Amino acid sequence: ATPIGLLVGTGRGAQMGILIRGPQVLEDTRKLDTIVLDKTGTVTTGVMAHTGTRTVDGVDEATALALAGAVEHHSEHPIAQAIAAAAAAQAPLAEVTGFHAEPGGGVKGTVGTQLVVVGRPSWLESQGVTLDESARQMLHEAEQAGATAILVAVDQQFQAVISVADKIKDSSAKAIAELQERGLRVVLLTGDNKSVAAEVAAQVGIKEEDVFAGVFPADKAKAISALQEQGKVVAMVGDGVNDAPALAQADLGIAMGSGTDVAIEAADITLMGNDLHQVTQAIDLSAKTLSTIK
């Protein structure tokens, strides 16, 4: 039978906007020693803005942005929305056929007769795009500036680097400090590039060795199981479609209420306030509830 105290605890949680799937979740919460955080949409707002476009010689910036934006318009990814919004602000978006989104990679589609591929380097390469030294240099410079740099290829020719950036949530640094004060190790896990991840980590007080960047969606779950194999009891906090396998793999999956349905379905706890401070609250609630029961 379920102790009544645990039910009271989940009820308390609900009042605080912390939706707990079942009473046993509170017991699992007490055993945690490692909290893994997704970056985009979890530590940061996930609301990205376009900050610049750089093109190869002979390619017009507005044209490159327009093509990328037309294709990205069909993706729900925050990066896609930023690029589509910037493109739409300069001219109406063109029609796209054959749209495909590759989770954790990017998108592709045909505009007129042109095949447009947009996303991270490995995604472009998987589509037969060769990235030469100057392309890599442009990418590197954009990333050094702290941006998430997205590459654009047209008919398999590299054409542009589009920079997007988002903001760290006001509450993140304090919430992460609270978790660390409770003796928890806080890890940042992201598909985004190393320099952006390192910059965000530094701003919120996560140690450099606790940053796992450039991780593909399938490997996010593997990163969790690797920690579990070291004997860690792990909570994963995320919001995206790409976080769902990791949320399911973790001892405790925690989704942002603003997150995708897939993430919420995979999670044990949903935070309606979209705020990492609620992770601390859930942990404190668990400790308090269990000590009351004993």
Under the binding rule (CB under 5 A), the answer on residue 217 touching Mg ion is no
Contacting Mg ion (CB under 5 A), which of 240, 253, 267, 283?
240
CA dist 257 and 264 (Å) reads 7
Q: b/e map of 207-232 (b: 16 or more CB within 10 Å)?
A: eeeebbbebebebbbebbeebeeeeb
Under the binding rule (CB under 6 A), the answer on residue 213 touching ligand ADP is no
Under the binding rule (CB under 6 A), the answer on residue 69 touching ligand ADP is no
Crossing angle of helices 277-293 and 23-30, in 10° steps, is: 100
Binding segment (CB under 5 A) for Mg ion, from list 88-96, 173-181, 224-232, 238-246: 238-246
Under the binding rule (CB under 5 A), the answer on residue 40 touching Mg ion is yes
**Residue 262 C-beta-side C-alpha neighbours within 13 Å:** 7
Q: Which sequence positions are flagged as catalytic? A: 38
Under the binding rule (CB under 5 A), the answer on residue 75 touching Mg ion is no
Binding segment (CB under 6 A) for ligand ADP, from list 23-31, 90-98, 117-125, 137-145: 117-125
**178 membership: H or E segment, kind and range:** helix 172-181
CA dist 16 and 71 (Å) reads 40
Binding mask 163-202 for ligand ADP (x = CB under 6 A): ---------------------------xxx----------
Under the binding rule (CB under 6 A), the answer on residue 119 touching ligand ADP is yes
Structure tokens at 190: 């992201």
CA dist 93 and 97 (Å) reads 13
Q: Which residues bind Mg ion (CB under 5 A)?
A: 38, 40-41, 239-240
For ligand ADP, the binding residues (CB under 6 A) are: 38-40, 72, 75, 77, 79-80, 101, 104-107, 118-120, 148, 150, 190-192, 217, 240, 242
